[in-house]
Amino acid sequence: MELINYLNKTFFTKQQLLDVSKVTEQQLLKYQQDGVMPKCSYRLNLTFKSDSFLGEYNDVQEVEYYAKGYSSWLAIVQSLDSKDVIYSVFSTRYKAAINQLNEQGHYSENPKITSGLDAHIQEEWQHFLNGTYGLCTKSGLPEDIAAKEFSIIVINELSQPNQLTSEQTNKLRLAVDLLDSASSWFAPHERLTSSRHRLVNEIRRKYQLEKKQ
């Protein structure tokens, strides 16, 4: 029940997404087949058995869960008719998020977010379409994806040595706080193996970083 409670609180079911977005199941499927709309992040196969004085009842259902941010992305997909244009929206928003992070003081020379940014975004687009980021970020949208990937790059760069300068420690703290703000809580059975546990909880513990209030 803890898993179902988490999913129902955090995500839209497919039917809820359809209702909010005013699209049919067939339209959603076509957008996914066309490679412009993410797949679900979780799929549950549920077996029900009920017994009452009226008799026994058995049923099997499949429930798909989608990041709530996907409703706004679906609105973009509905308003545009070209896969290239839809991808350009994703890319432009991703780059704008990186630029904003730079302006806020987050910094890395990693090629993924400098010279190789275009190729990196193409890879991120595929993960986005597979529903991966609907699972591991709060919104599933380009801004949270960029924040998550940027922060992971910085954390991995800084968490190799055991001893950090005060400047490096502050940079690490900012990156961990950024990942914390963009990352989902993950389903209960996933938490101890999640990137949040490894790169937020454990890095804070290892380097005695105070949690952002």
Bridge partners of 42, per DSSP, are: 65
Report CA-CA distances (Å) from 7 to 64, 65, 80, 81, 104.
Answer: 10, 7, 30, 31, 33
Question: What pLDDT is stored for residue 51 in this prediction?
Answer: 78
Record the tokens describing residue 171, joined without a space: 């940079």
Task: Write down the pLDDT at residue 213.
Answer: 60
Task: Answer yes or no: are the C-beta atoms of 203 and 179 closer than 8 Å.
Answer: no
Range of lowest pLDDT (45-59, 92-106, 180-194): 45-59
Q: Which residues contact 22 (CB under 8 A, 6 or more apart)?
A: none
Distance CA 152, CA 38 (A): 22
Q: Are 180 and 212 in contact (CB under 8 A)?
A: yes
- pLDDT above 90 covers a percentage of the chain that reads 85
Distance CA 193, CA 198 (A): 7
Dump pLDDT digits (tens) for 71-92. Answer: 999 999 999 989 999 999 999 9
Name residues whose C-beta falls within 8 Å of residue 181's C-beta, 6 or more positions apart in sequence: 138, 147, 212
What whole-number distance in Å separates Cα of residue 16 and Cα of residue 78? Answer: 17
The pLDDT tens digits for 139-168 are 999 999 999 999 999 999 998 766 889 999
Mean pLDDT check: name the lowest of 31-40, 50-59, 131-140: 50-59
List all residues 6 or more positions away from 37 whose beta carbon is below 8 Å from its beta carbon. Answer: 28, 31, 70, 73, 74, 77, 129
Collapsed DSSP state (helix, strand, coil) of residue 194: coil
pLDDT of residue 159: 84
Tell me: the pLDDT tens digits for 7-16? 999 999 999 9
Please state the rounded mean pLDDT for residues 121-148.
Answer: 97
Half-sphere exposure of residue 183, counting CA atoms within 13 Å on the CB side? Answer: 23
25-34, 56-65, 109-118, 194-203: range with lowest mean pLDDT: 56-65
